[in-house]
Amino acid sequence: MIADIQAVLARLPHRYPFLLVDRILERGEREGQPFVRALKNVSVNEPYFQGHFPGRPIMPGVLQIEALAQASIFLLNDQMPEGSLAFLAGVDGVRFKKPVVPGDQLILESQLEFFRRNLGKVKTQALVDGVVVTEATIMFAVGK
């Protein structure tokens, strides 16, 4: 299942400048668990590059985690009750392995580990040119 920006906007509550998913590239199962692969085009026009860092623009790690969390919501949407939202509840095992810079295509991969009642846990990684640049396990709480 490929979803363009219109489908992304229909599923995520985020908007510019905080929408960090441009497209869903793949949705399915991996190792028997729901899986999603998404794309974030990293543009030099992003507002955070003005100050992070002048002369050496690097995508902030917290925004890489946010992009991974937003992609992960596509795994949780099918599990959540109508009208609810997924909120970031925790982040574990974060590793930033390589800087993400303007011109990179950030591939966001998320695999659902579990979803029970109002809690979900997702294993994530971000890649550039097939190399893992960021990884984290993200916990979500679902509420109205």
Beta bridge partners of 114: 121
- 133: Cα separation from own chain's centroid: 13
Residue type, 135: E
Half-sphere exposure of 67 (CA within 13 A, CB side): 30
Is the peptide bond prior to 57 cis by the omega test (within 30 degrees of 0)? Answer: no
Q: Residue 69: how many CB atoms within 10 A of its CB? A: 25
* DSSP letter assigned to residue 77: T
Active-site residue (options: 11, 52, 98, 121): 52
- Measured CA to CA, the distance from residue 73 to residue 69 in angstroms comes to 6
Annotated active-site residue 52? The verdict is yes
Catalytic residue ranges? 52
